Each structure stands twice: as structure tokens, then as C-alpha cells.
Amino acid sequence: MPNKIISITFDFFRVGMGMNVARTFSELIHSIADSPDDDGRTRQVGEHHYHMHECEKRDMFWFGNITKIRMDEYVVKTKLSGQRNPVDLEEDEGIGRESAFAYNEYYNVIVLQRNKNTISSDSLAAYIEKVTKCFPLSLDIVLQKDALKKFESAENYKTVDIKIAKPDSGLFLGSAGETPEYVEKIMKMLDAPELELRLSVGRKKKRALSRSAVQNLGSKFLGRREYVEKLNVNGIELIDGVMSYSDKLNPDSAQGLSYEARWGLIKTAWSHHLPEIAQLFGGKT
């Protein structure tokens, strides 16, 4: 297998739980980890199925892997010479895309591996809701300190500019909530590969956009930022302010990154941002 450099990115989210959720987020993860690793852990969210595999307590984290199972995707194994062989799948099999995650209870922050083919933060929250039957849960993207200060200190929100790029096929915003779903439907209806949208008060300078609605919209779209090229509020580019960590490396096996390699990367990502996380949410480093 030729050397292949892959890029891996982790985003940081703050866990939100409804007032009627009696258990902590750690207890919810623990309950999944203690359950049999069989189809009882599989749940459908939107168009796809998800299954949490490895899940264990390591240091101050709950660490594990969750797989997005695509039942509508067909794969042909192809050599560089062009020789092709179909991958035969059983009726109950699909193509799995793994994501690693780690939850730190002390800061109530979860680190989640991100790319276009794996689970989104909204789908992860929905999956845990369905498995544990605890509602509602949310995973809200963490903004770095400077971006958060600028965003929250604005007296009023006057403009919101959004640019979205659609992938070649498949749903991409469908599990991110009503607003992203509606935007996706418009793009599909018009067969538009890109969408640019401006929301503003226009000439009514004394008016302002709904503060809570803008913050909610920002959280929803930033949670699917692999498809969002621009999210600008009052001239502040929020995409640049998202707390994330990226690295490039060689896979350690033909199947990609191993479980232990993902754990090592998450620890590096966490250490990189820990001083700022402590400043944002209080506590020790």
C-alpha cells in the first residue's frame, strides 16, 4: 500500500442537558459502555444508522469510537492499475465510517473527530438520546476566547452571512435541526451546489436581529462546519474562531487509524487547547 498522508480534525463541544434529564452525561455514556456490544447499541438517526463500539474510561475521559453505517453506499475495491472487484455486502451490512470521541466530565467538554463522512455532533447527541431515552441533549460548538468575546459582546446583531457548499451526493445538513434542513431542501430543489445567504436589518438601523435566534443558528451551522464555508456575524468570521485541532499523518494500518492512534491524537488535541478551556470554563489545567 503506497504511503498516504491523511488529515484528521477534532472539534470541541460543550454538552447541554435539559432540566428533566436525571442522569449526568458521564452516566449516560457509562450506561452505553455497560450494555452488550450488539444491535441493541445501533440506532437510526436521519437516513443512517450509528453504533458505538469501544467505550471506556481512560484518565479523566470517556473515550470511544462510534461508527456511521451507510446502508445506501456501494463500494468497488479498485487497484491503481484499474482492476476492480466489488465488495459483496449482506442485507444487514453497510459501509462503516468511524469517529473517535472523548468526553471530559470536569469541563463538560467532548472532543469529536470530524470529516464529511462520519457522525456530526447533532447526530451524536440524537444517538445518545435514543439509546439512553434521555431528552434533550445538545452539543454546542466551542468558540475560542477572542472570537467568543467579540460575538457575545456585540450590542446588537445586524447582519449574518452564510455560505454553504453541498457535497456531490447524500444529505449533509439533515440532522442538524430545522433551519439547516430547510436550507438543504432549497439547495436540493434548485440543484444548487452552493448557497450564499445574507440576513440583515436592511435600512432599519434601529432594529436588530433576534439575539437568541442568531446564537442558535450559529451553533447549528458550526456543528456541520465541514459544509459551511462562511458564517459571518456583524463582520466577525465565526468559522475562524472555532476551537479545533488538525494534524496530518500516515495511517498505521491498511484500514486507517487504529483505536490507540486516535486516542493519542485526542490527547494531543486536548493538551493543545487545555489552557484556553480552563480559562473559558474555570478550573485547573
Percent of the chain past pLDDT 90, that is, above it, reads 57
- What type of residue is 53? H
Q: What is the pLDDT of residue 122?
A: 87
Q: What is the pLDDT of residue 177?
A: 52
CB 242 within 8 A of CB 112: no
Q: What is the pLDDT of residue 76?
A: 85
Mean pLDDT of the chain: 88
d(CA 164, CA 118): 18
Q: What is the pLDDT of residue 94?
A: 85
Q: What are 162-211's pLDDT values in tens digits?
A: 998 865 544 455 544 555 667 777 888 888 889 899 999 999 989 999 99
d(CA 4, CA 113): 19
CB 121 within 8 A of CB 113: no
Q: What is the pLDDT of residue 264?
A: 93
Percent of the chain past pLDDT 70, that is, above it, reads 91
Give, as one character, the DSSP assignment of residue 142: P
Q: What are 44-56's pLDDT values in tens digits?
A: 998 899 999 999 9
Q: What are 209-241's pLDDT values in tens digits?
A: 999 999 888 888 887 777 889 999 999 999 999
**pLDDT at residue 118 above 90?**
no
Helix (H, G, I), strand (E, B) or coil at 136: coil
Q: What are 239-251's pLDDT values in tens digits?
A: 999 999 999 887 7
Question: CB 3: neighbour CB atoms within 10 A?
Answer: 6
Rg of the chain in Å (alpha carbons) = 20
Which whole number is the average pLDDT over 64-76?
87
d(CA 77, CA 95): 13
